[in-house]
Chains A and B, each alone.
Chain A
Amino acid sequence: MVAPLYTTDSGLLFHAGKILVLTIGLPARGKTHVSRSLERYLRWMGVKTQVVSLGDYRRKTLGGAQKLPADYFHLGEKSPETIALRKKVSDGCEQQIWDFFKTGQVVIYDANNGTRAARQKLAERFHNKGIHVILLESVCDNKEIIEANIRSVKISSPDYRGWDPDKAVEDYYTRIRDHEEYYDPVEEKDWPYIRIINVGEKIMVNNIKGYLQSRIVFFLMNIHNRPRTIYFARSGQSLIEHSYKADSDLSPAGWEYAERLKDFVIERRAKNLAQRGLGTGDQRLVIWTSTRRRAHHTAWPFLQAAASVSSSNLATPSATPGHATPISVIPHHGLDGGKLLPPTLASSLSIPTPLIHTSTSTPTPNNLNIKVIEKPQMSEINPGIWDGLTPDQARKYYPQDWERFVKDPYSFRAPRAESYHDLSVRIEPLLIELEREKEDLLIIGHASVIRCLLAYLIGLPASEIPAIEIARGDLLEVVPASYGVHCKAFHFWDGPGRRVDESLAGSGGSGVTGEGVIGEGGGIAEGVNGVGIGIGEQKDPNNFYENYAEDTKGKRTNAVTREPEASIGALGVV
């Protein structure tokens, strides 16, 4: 069972003791990706975890690469000054590790640790103080992964600020070559070790003991860094929005929303794939929904579209009428027009292929490869005895419980209800599956579930989960990157069940939301405040979880940044 379940007297979890994970590997082997992912996961489990990054520390104390002596990255003979500098950096890092262990449980030391003698000494120092040391080697023999890593991460580091990209790449390769000469792969059978090959492609484990360690391995077995996109959207409005039990179907507006979502996702995804030189048929889109009707019925139009596209691709023209079922088509709005076309309620026999806004022709087989999976763990947060009540009613009938809920909405559990904490524990198995999924993923979920998943991906503290606003009509696009995730929100729909953003709707302008990088340097991009959302007449007054999220706006920065950005164009704003 995943932690936050209980804590021990020492405040540490699982009675596992303290653990130091030493990363080992040549530069650009994905050590940072692995370290950060592991840190995020362990923190989610409630384990006090910290990455100590040698590179970050060196840049902080000494500055970028251009400020370093020429022999800094050469492991051969060095001038005494350089040796002193290097020692200063590694001692400083070590001190940080010791400091963190005063209260923390796991430190991941993100450094090359390439020579056996050096890491042996380091490991022994901690081992002698009763800290379990695990060697975590990241091996990568796939040139493409290395090159991609250098281009996407390394040359954008402060070390190469102002460099010509190609020159920076060249310099970085020199740095790697110097390391290679002195690099000892992990073969130390006397230490527990984990060797990860090509970021999760293969994994070897030696002498791993205990639950927390085996959880770490289980997690590492499931991560990868292949490019993919995770989309999140709320399920459509249902007939009884505020009842968990009634499990009601979508309302007419909900059905319309589902259609619009389908169009928008297909369009958006085609654009993203085209940027990578792919067509929509080249990568499968996996859709997860809960087992609730409102969620998996929201995915229904996707299945319809996939069936109709494939039948129109396969069928000969004469056969078509017999095959396809009549489908009403919801308007497609061009990406460049910024204006919604009138609805065509034609009983067309197939859905037109999505418009792709690219000037170049895309190598696109347009068949949609879609799989929908219902996950029982994705049911929305159970409101228990508050089911079906409005916030006013809940306050009236259960004043004491209500007060406690408002005070601590993350851990408070109303009678028979789930707290957000319970929900987090429930969806933990999904996190592993989410990490593992290699295809594009669309998660059509309830706001509470999306909050928890997003908080995990972004690395938000648990206490902030209940306040994350997930607006119906926004598509969240999350792209895992080395230091965290890139997160964008696209507003594609307005209607019942969504609060109208008056400032945007009033101006009739762009409701488009922007892009922000989340998790860079371990936090939320600073200084970006969420768009203030006015109280619209279409607010659903009945759902207190949503009300809570909306009413707390302004108390904190928004999880997903939304700044207007012209280049995306106006989408679906009415």
Chain B
Amino acid sequence: MSDAGALHSDAASRGIAEDLARASDALENMQASGELAPVVTVAPASPNVPPALFGAGGPMLKRFDESTVASRKGSNAPSPPPSVKGIGKKVAKPDYSEQKIVVAMVGLPARGKSYLSNKLMIYLRWLEYDVKVFNVGQLRRTKARQKAQKLGVKENHTAEFFSHSNAQATQSRDKLAEESLEMLIQWLKEGGNVGIHDATNSTKDRRAKIEARLAKEKGMTLIFLESFCDDPATIAANVELKVSQGDPDYKDMSPDEARKDFLRRISEYEKVYETITEPHLSYLRIKNVGEEVTMSRINGYLSSRIAFYLMNLHIRPRNIFFSRHGESQYNVEGKIGGDSLLSSRGMQYAKALPALITDNIGEKPLTVWTSTLKRTIQTAQYLPYTKLTWKSLDELDAGVCDGMTYEEIEQAYPDDYANRDEDKFNYRYRGGESYRDVVVRLEPVIMELERQENILIIGHQAILRCLYAYFHHLPQTDLPYIKIPLHTVIKLTPKAYGCDEERYTLPINAVDTHRPKPKTAKQPLTHSTTQRQYFVEEEIKPLA
């Protein structure tokens, strides 16, 4: 070595390595002679298993962190971000600010545009993109209401308003669509990632206008998403949904009248409708969701992910079942993580599970997914279905805290413990994961779930919280507090605008592993229905 500085740091680090080796040997000897006394008493799972040397409950970590600060001084390096200490920290959200996409919907009324835009929004929001739907119909109603309040003039929004021979109405509708697009662009500029322009955009002319407008904006990508549907049953169901679920346009009409008017509105659109074929536009055309996809000029990472996601959707009826593993020995002891076996009550649950599932699903095919951990495989062992194990379904890795109880963590690292409670979603255990990390790892699982039909997932608390949040569209802040009790099967039935849910709790007692959100925070809403929510009018404030 001709480099004096390197020599110095070299010697220092060799010193540390030797210290470590010595410490490790000593610990091994102590363990062998049974005199090992960790900072927090953690009973070894079996006498033949070595202690977790670097676990938060083990004897090494704290002492080691203290020595780290000293070792830094031997280095010539500039100071990096905060030093290693404790058992974890909050992690900032990744930077998505460069992503700016406008998804402009194309399609006749009642062709499932809202279904697609809704699914897309939920998926992307689950991945923490900032997504917003700009619904032109909503804007129209809001403006009409304001006009009615201010001037006492009631606009006619029956089918006549949607006729293309009605020049004044056409102009007024064009203006609304433009205004909605402006709001969308403004919102993207203020930091949004994906704005969905939910309108019929049914003519080439209208699409050309949108294209021309966005050509003026730098860094924004435009994708058209056409939902094409020629299945009469689907259309009829969509029409019924619109009529029966309180579309404000029809609140003063009888259902029959409303249906008639709505069908007339559709036929007005049909007269001028041009399916998307413009070769220079970037578009996705989805026929009868899941049947056929045409894609043109899609590029860019997020756009291709959007396309891939939409390609995998289907609307065949099916059920998704979630169940946690039966109560485990660690659950009984209040410990987190680990790979323990089921308790005797947990085994009872495993034995009772097949009857519950088969009664429910009957003759239909079902596939069971488990994690690679013993407690889920044990829980699934009596189920008479195909079983697959997924590494990606393993429980959130608690890193250095694995195998400890919450009390032990609180005792050993009080500050860190409070920190996690403050922002559970963003908190990453040292040497382990945060809820966000889990969401990233579960993304391929979601993709696969969307493609599959009947699936039963025997999973873990944190994993099922993430999956459940996706299906019920729950925000990240509430996600870590969703109640997924032991010995309960959750049955989800995807519907047009959400999931129906049933819960079956087996009468086998189990410990409660749910830790509520501390202090005053409001409890998350965990029930959901098929109620379509897109008529909610609170958000949109028209430009002055």
Give A contacts to B, CB under 8 Å. Answer: 1-2, 5-6, 200-209, 211, 214-215, 217-218, 221-222, 237, 239-241, 243-256, 258-259, 291, 293, 297, 300-301, 304, 325, 327-328, 330-331, 340, 342-343, 345, 373-374, 376-377, 382, 385, 387-390, 393, 397, 413, 415-416, 418, 422, 425-426, 428-429, 432-433, 436, 495-496, 540, 574
Contacts and interface: CB of A to CB of B under 8 A. Distances in A.
Given A205-B296, A496-B14, A382 B397 contact: yes
B48 A328 contact: no
Nearest to A423: B391
Contacts of B304: 218, 221-222, 436
A239 B17 CA distance: 8
Nearest to B451: A211
Given A256-B77, A389-B50, A239 B295 contact: no
Most buried by B among A377, A416, A422, A540: A416
Contact of A245 (B71, B391, B399): B399
12 contacts: A217-B311, A218-B308, A221-B298, A239-B16, A245-B431, A246-B64, A251-B12, A253-B13, A297-B80, A374-B94, A387-B54, A393-B50
Contact of A1 (B49, B430, B444): B444
Nearest to A192: B292
Interface residues of B, number: 81
A207 B388 CA distance: 30
Given A6-B388, A246-B54, A426-B441, A496 B13 contact: yes
Contacts of A204: 294-297
B1 interface: yes
B68 A245 contact: no
Interface string B1-32: 11111100110111011001000100010000
Nearest to A205: B295
A376 B440 contact: yes
Given A376-B441, A429-B443, A397 B49 contact: yes
B399 A256 contact: no
A208 B54 contact: no
B80 A300 contact: yes
Nearest to A325: B78
Contact of A331 (B3, B293, B436): B3
A227 B357 CA distance: 55
B78 A495 contact: no
B229 to A, nearest CB: 17
B293 A205 contact: yes
A284 to B, nearest CB: 12
Contacts of A301: 77-78
A353 B151 CA distance: 69
B501 interface: no
A135 B498 CA distance: 38
4 closest pairs, A vs B, by CB? A245-B431, A255-B77, A252-B9, A246-B54
Nearest to B445: A1
B17 A2 contact: no
A250 B392 CA distance: 29
A373 B95 CA distance: 9
Interface in B433-468: 433, 436-437, 440-441, 443-445, 447-448, 451
A240 B10 CA distance: 15
B391 A426 contact: yes
Nearest to B400: A245
Contacts of B12: 251-253
Most buried by A among B49, B71, B311: B311
B52 to A, nearest CB: 7
B504 interface: no
B397 to A, nearest CB: 7
Interface in B26-60: 28, 48-50, 52-55, 60
A362 B84 CA distance: 42
Nearest to B48: A397
B101 interface: no
B61 interface: yes
A330 B54 contact: no
A71 B445 CA distance: 55
Contacts of A255: 9, 75-77
Contacts of A206: 294
A119 B6 CA distance: 65
B272 interface: no
Contacts of A201: 299
A323 to B, nearest CB: 15
Contacts of B445: 1
Most buried by B among A207, A376, A432: A376
Contacts of A217: 295, 307-308, 311
B432 A436 contact: no
A345 to B, nearest CB: 7
B390 interface: yes
A335 B68 CA distance: 35
Given A256-B6, A385-B49, A426-B391, A205 B294 contact: yes
Contact of B339 (A208, A218, A256, A416): A416
A252 B13 contact: yes
A387 B430 CA distance: 14
Contacts of B197: none
B526 interface: no
B77 A425 contact: no
A204 B276 CA distance: 13
Contacts of B24: 390
B315 interface: no
A233 to B, nearest CB: 16
A247 B431 contact: yes
A36 B312 CA distance: 25
Nearest to A433: B301
A340 B2 contact: yes
A373 B93 CA distance: 12
Contacts of B432: 245
Given A252-B9, A291-B91, A202 B297 contact: yes
B83 interface: yes
A254 to B, nearest CB: 8
Contacts of B399: 245, 247
B372 interface: yes
A574 B9 contact: no
Contacts of A373: 94
B325 interface: no
Given A222-B301, A256-B5, 6 more contacts: A221-B299, A246-B54, A253-B9, A256-B75, A300-B80, A304-B78
B516 interface: no
A212 B447 CA distance: 13
Given A245-B54, A251-B71, A256 B2 contact: no
Contacts of A252: 9-10, 12-13, 71-72, 74-75, 77
B428 interface: yes
A291 B448 CA distance: 26
Interface string B376-417: 000000000000101110000101101000000000000000
A247 B430 contact: yes
Contacts of A425: 391-392
B294 A203 contact: no
A244 B431 contact: yes
B479 interface: no
B373 interface: yes
Nearest to A209: B292
Contacts of B20: 240
A433 B440 CA distance: 14
A239 B64 contact: yes
Contacts of B307: 217-218, 221
Nearest to A327: B78
Contact of B78 (A246, A300, A345): A300
Nearest to B88: A247
A291 B428 contact: yes
A424 B9 CA distance: 35
B391 A243 contact: no
Contacts of A388: 52-54
